[in-house]
Amino acid sequence: MINIVDKKDCCGCSACASICPKNAISMQADALGFLYPQVDKLNCVNCGLCESVCPIINRKKNVEERNTISYVAARNKNKEVLFKSTSGGAFSSFAKLILSQNGMVYGACYNERMEVVHDFACTEEDCEKFIGSKYVQSRMVGLFPHIKKELEQGIPVLFTGTPCQVEAVRKFLRKEYENLFLIDVVCHAVASPKVFQDYVAFAEKKLKSSIISIRMRDKMKYGWGHRTSTAFVLRDGTIVRDPSSLKMWNEIYFSAFVNRPSCNSCLFCNMNRSGDLTIGDFWDDSSCRKDIYSIEGTSLVMVNNERGLRLLNMADSLDCWKLKKNEAIQQNLVHTSQSNCYSERFIDDYLRKGFKYVYLRYVNRSGFRKFLSKIKHFLQRK
């Protein structure tokens, strides 16, 4: 039976809850909105299925490198798609391929409450919701049986997600399917869904409108390399870019204040990839492959097995350049990211004093100083 003693031992994939024949596992959110399994011991029959599908329990430490077949830099030929994508739009090209075979694509999107969730799409139009990195943990609850059903009906399925999510899908299915394609992203960490919800509410107040999408790492102003440029899509369709009144979510994310605990000891930030293909950013700066550089962005594609190679060879909407391994390697293929040394203090303050306090105290420090000087001024006048 699953029993999470240390939070770092659970990535929140929910595979255990989906496989349990007795429905004895429910996924419960902690104070940061991260999901963890809770087992109803009265219903559990100790069958052990939950443990057999867990991507963390079954991931061996010091896993050996798989023989990645090749490394490729890739860029989508469709400029509109390329500009919406985080790097080179490789995801959309593979998704288009699966959809053209009447297949189904799974990925992370915003729902109507601006929560980040995994969902499916069977048209190119609907699949647009998956474009772009959302630097928040996405919720996968309830999806596994859908994926299995479609595979058994012979429908081509492309599942995309973080490496731990991809591994969870593999483990849940427990057998190979010829019609299944898996793509993982090079992964830094995922951040708290609860803090993100508070950020969205805060941003909506500042922008005086509800938000229907946030394009983190927007390319329109500065090109693709900018880590925090953000576009907010409002309910009436207006797009607001980098409003000066607001610090961007990426500043919280990349400061690593609210990473999921499992990310700090991730067993997937290495070269043993769970996907048939791995996609990431190809940081083609001037020291490395100037010939490929474009301000529009470039994806790194790692081809991890023959199935991945088949997919890449069919993706005719991509321009590709072969890379050497040393050109492709980047930080999160080798190291695990670590939380900020002030993370505990940030979380403690957040839980006691709320989002606005930590936003001013840790993120918008100039705002915090202004706030302190206002109080000082007020006290002096009294």
Ligand X SMILES: Cc1cc2nc3c(=O)[nH]c(=O)nc-3n(C[C@H](O)[C@H](O)[C@H](O)COP(=O)(O)OP(=O)(O)OC[C@H]3O[C@@H](n4cnc5c(N)ncnc54)[C@H](O)[C@@H]3O)c2cc1C
Footprint of ligand SF4 on 146-185 (CB under 6 A): 162-164, 168
Helix (H) or strand (E) holding 145: helix 144-152
C-alpha closest to that of 290 among 282, 278, 279 = 282
Segment interacting with ligand SF4 (CB under 6 A) among 233-241, 259-267, 311-319, 342-350:
259-267
Q: At what angle do helices 144-152 and 163-173 cross, to 10 degrees?
A: 60
Structure-block tokens of residue 345: 């203090």
C-alpha closest to that of 94 among 328, 326, 322, 302 = 302
Least distance from ligand SF4 to the Cβ atom of residue 187, Å: 3
Helices first, then strands: H and E counts in the chain? 14, 13
Least distance from ligand SF4 to the Cβ atom of residue 225, Å: 22
Least distance from ligand SF4 to the Cβ atom of residue 142, Å: 13
> Order of strands across the sheet with 239-241?
211-216, 230-234, 239-241
Helix (H) or strand (E) holding 171: helix 163-173
- Per CB under 6 A, does 37 bind ligand SF4? yes
Per-residue binding letters, 313-352, with ligand X (x by CB under 6 A): -----------------x-x--------------------
Helix (H) or strand (E) holding 108: strand 104-110
Judged by CB, which is closer to ligand X: 89, or 261?
89
Which residue from 56, 95, 104, 358 is in contact with ligand SF4, where contact means CB under 6 A? 56
Least distance from ligand X to the Cβ atom of residue 370, Å: 32
- Per CB under 6 A, does 26 bind ligand X? no
Least distance from ligand X to the Cβ atom of residue 282, Å: 8
Residue matched to tokens 């303050």: 349
Q: Give the Å distances, CA to CA, from 244 to 26, 184, 223.
A: 42, 34, 19
Footprint of ligand SF4 on this chain (CB under 6 A)? Answer: 1-2, 4, 10-16, 20, 22, 24-25, 37, 39, 44-50, 53-56, 162-164, 168, 187, 189-190, 260, 262-263, 266, 268-269
